[in-house]
Structure 1
Amino acid sequence: MTPTCGDDPEAELAARAAAERAAIVAKYDLGREKGAQIDPWEDPKFEIYHVTDRYGFIHDHRLPETATALEVKLKEVEVAREKKWLDMLAKWDKIRAGKDKKLTEKFRKRVYKGIPDKLRGKVWAQMLNVATVRQERHGMYEEMKRRARRWSPEVRQIDLDVNRTYRDHIMFRERYGIQQQALFHVLAAYSVYNTELGYCQGMSQIAALLLMYMNEEDAFWALSVLMAGNLYNMHGLFIQGFPKLLRLQLHHEQILKKYLPKLKKHLDRNGIDTTIYTLKWFFQCFLDRVPFTLALRLWDAYLLDGEKVLVTGAYMILKVHRKTLQHLPMEEILEFLQVRLERDFQQDDDSAMLELERCVEELRRGRLDQPAPPPDQELPQRPFGLQLQPPPVRAQSGRRSQMAPSEEKIIGDILRRQQEAQLSAGEVYRGSWYRQDVPSVFQYSEPTTLACYHYQTAPAGRNGIHLPSSRPPPRGIRMTLV
């Protein structure tokens, strides 16, 4: 029953939240049927016949009409591997049992060589044991969808993120299209399935990636395994305080100190903290930070080996590009890691994966291939899919009054490290860029930090105040969410 408003501000807040949630859900129910109201800016036009690549991404320029010799060769190799992978899938029970060591090692080598894209969805579903989980919880997904429609406090934020997730991909291009509907349903259902986590920005791209290769319900259960499975435990990355993110970043710094000390010194001198460039590496397993084809290969390995691929992949990227990075100033380091590598990794995917395997072995010898075991606070504490009482009014509205102490500590640590780096370098020099972190709390999303980049037009005064100019930041450097 919808709360009555009267003079009760809490009831009024709940009523507004319920009305907004119902309006958003109704738009996804209607989809693109007659009567749908879609703003032109939400639904960009595209020319499917000449700008869509084989993975479904839409490009602003006409693609080559003929493939290069290398592309033809790679396609032939992939087709030849498909039969081997079909044979491998037929032996899946033996692979899962792990008793045949020769077969298990063969499977591992083939994963690192790359799963054929035609079979990637089937192999991922097997690696995540989706069919078994789905059967054990038959009917649960539909129940979670129904519950989310009524009570999820995350609906508004999910709607905002769906509208900006892979809009350059044909599956998610159309506002309220079939795949946007599926993405909304998966995220909303998970927000009430895992009541401890709910929803956090960053989960949308993971769910969208799964939807590129699986149907809606399989993608939901795949997401649940990624969040709570022992091999992945991404739950610890997204809950308040981000404890797993901090643990992985600490391990990453240990690797840099031991294996890339010169590069670490250069990054520190330029105020490039690990908290800046590792966020998407660890949150989303390198999506949007390396070319999509390489990201798929890294995800193949991640589903096989879990979180050690995150720390090893981070080391591999810096090791491969260390000479370039050591000669770049601050603003170009950030652009290189956040923008340029996604456009051009400067190595083909096979070479990068071979380097990843070498890095795994190098870190294994140094006993740094695995991060420290997760503490209890990283792991889910509540059973999933609990039937709870309707959430408090403020929770229904998607609002939180203040940041948790753990989140305040993270922001404080970031600021402290930035200040220490700038002090060790002397000052922020004229003609350079510097970073300013501003803690912010929004009405319908979790507290976050706005990372602002300013251009230093004059040396800092005695009081340490830096006055930004109106000159825009370097290409690819924008106000970013941390």
Structure 2
Amino acid sequence: LEREEGLPPLELLRRRESKWLEMTAHWDKTMARRYKKVRGAAGGPARMWHQSSLTQGTELEEAPGTQQWLETIEKDIHRQFPFHEMFLSPEGHGQRGLLQLLKAYTVYRPQEGYCQAQGPIAAMLLMHMPAEQAFWCLVQISERYLPGYYSPEMEAVLLDGEVFMALLRRVCHRAYKHLQKHNVGPMLFVTEWFLCLFCRTLPFPTVLRIWDAFFSEGVKVLFRVGLVLVRLALGSGEKLRDCVGVVETLEKLRNIPPEQLQEDAFMAELKGGCCPTSWLGHLTHI
């Protein structure tokens, strides 16, 4: 089989898998002795996400769910990675499993219900782990890593959008001034990035590396990734030359050259220190 362009060589993936299998087999010892190495390592498997997010395991209980939420979820299911073989068919195990997982969350947290941005996250989780583990990872993302993001009012993500703009003002003032000049607020681009953990924005291999870091370090990773994206899109006068308004600016943010988003290139940018950790220390849910 031919490898998809941009994916790491099979030999490299096998070496990474072997390394991660050894670390996850002795997870507590690994995290105690080698945390920094785990944090910076590439290609962490789903088990690492599960180990990082799971606080307790229980079996999912069958429940009918609320008709309102079921109807909303059913309308969204086919939109989640429609070209991925797992989610091609409405009768396939991917779409059925995604429906059950999202429904289970509305039963588990009826006061929050369902947020559309949870759909692609749940789908990504199901690609990499069994349904029950994916459910508990979604619970921990929603309640431990990003509390308030998926509530009906989305208070936390709105606040973090403003914090992001304040950081951008310090890190890349040229881009910040441009966004302010054209009234391009964080709700127009940051919200989807953060809510969906970039899985609708970046190539799969890059998303997986970012999720590795996210499960290890928390929400600060989302800020770093977002700042890199804005800098890549709007960080110079040349890049801003054709951005004469809101539409052109958003197009530039959505169409960063693909080669700059590939795994190795992007992670090198991310590790380049565009946003010092000390600037993020005040965030309450880190």
TM-score (norm 1): 0.55
Q: Gaps (5+ residues) in structure 1?
A: 1-64, 375-482
The aligned counterpart of 2:196 is 284
The corresponding residue for 1:88 is: 23
From the CA coordinates, give the structure whose radius of gyration is larger. Answer: 1
The answer as to 2:224 corresponding to 1:312 is yes
The offset of 1:68, in angstroms, is 8.7
Q: Which amino acid aligns with 2:35?
A: T
How far apart in 2 are the matches of 1:69 and 1:258? 36
* Contact map agreement 2:80 2:120 (CA 8 A) in 1: yes
Q: 2:250 aligns with which of 327, 334, 341?
A: 334
Instruction: Return the match for 1:219 from 94, 110, 134.
Output: 134
| Residue pair 2:190, 2:226 contacting (<8 A) in 1 also | yes
| Alignment counterpart, residue 146 of structure 1, candidates 57, 63, 88 | 63
The equivalent of 1:368 in structure 2 is 279
Amino acid at match of 1:372: L
Identity of aligned residues (%): 28
Distance 1:200 1:250 in 2: 21
- The structural deviation recorded for 1:292 is 2.2
1:198 lines up with 2:113 in the alignment: yes
Give the aligned partner of residue 46 of structure 2. 121
What residue in structure 2 maps to residue 171 of structure 1? 86
C-alpha distance in structure 1 between counterparts of 2:155 and 2:258, whole Å: 32
The offset of 1:302, in angstroms, is 0.9
Following TM superposition, the consecutive aligned residue runs of length 4 or more in structure 1 with deviations greater than 4 angstroms are 65-71
Between the aligned partners of 1:189 and 1:69, the Cα distance in structure 2 is 37
Q: Secondary structure at the match of 2:63?
A: helix
**How far apart in 2 are the matches of 1:317 and 1:202?**
20
Distance change (3 Å), C-alpha of 1:186 and 1:255:
same
Please point out which of 39, 51, 63 is paired with 1:108. 39
Separation in 2 of the partners of 1:176 and 1:254?
46
Asked if 2 retains the 8 angstrom alpha-carbon contact of 1:287 and 1:295, the reply is yes
Residues 371 and 278 of structure 1: CA distance in aligned 2, closer, same or farther (over 3 Å): farther
Residue identity in the other structure for 1:194:
R
Instruction: Give the secondary-structure state (helix, strand or coil) at the position aligned to 2:140.
Output: helix
Q: 2-side partners of 1:325 and 1:305: how far apart?
A: 31
* Structure ranking higher in helix proportion: 2
CA pair 347-372 structure 1, distance change in 2 beyond 3 A: closer
One-letter amino acid of the counterpart of residue 126, structure 1: Q
Aligned partner (choices 101, 124, 133) of residue 56 of structure 2: 133
Structure 1 SS opposite 2:68: coil
Quote the Cα distance in structure 1 between the aligned partners of 2:9 and 2:63: 45
Change (3 A) 1:227 1:325: same
- Please say if 1:351 is aligned against 2:265: yes
Does structure 2 conserve the Cα–Cα contact (< 8 Å) formed by 1:290 and 1:345?
no
Q: Distance in 2 between matches of 1:68 and 1:177?
A: 24
Shift of 1:328: 3.0
* Mapped contact 2:77–2:98 kept (Cα < 8 A): yes
CA offsets 1:409-443 (integer angstroms, 9 cap, x no match) = xxxxxxxxxxxxxxxxxxxxxxxxxxxxxxxxxxx
Contact 1:325–1:333 (CA under 8 A) maintained in structure 2: no
Within the candidate set 243, 254, 276, 2:155 is matched to: 243
Q: Which is worse superposed, 160-169 or 73-82?
A: 73-82
CA shift digits 1:383-409 (9 cap, x unpaired): xxxxxxxxxxxxxxxxxxxxxxxxxxx
Give me the whole-angstrom Cα distance separating, in 1, the residues matched to 2:176 and 2:132. 43
In the alignment, structure 2 segments of 5+ residues that lack a partner are none
For the aligned residue pairs, the C-alpha RMSD in angstroms reads 2.3
Structure 2 CA distance for aligned equivalents of residues 269 and 186 of structure 1: 43
Cα distance, 1:177 vs structure 2? 1.5
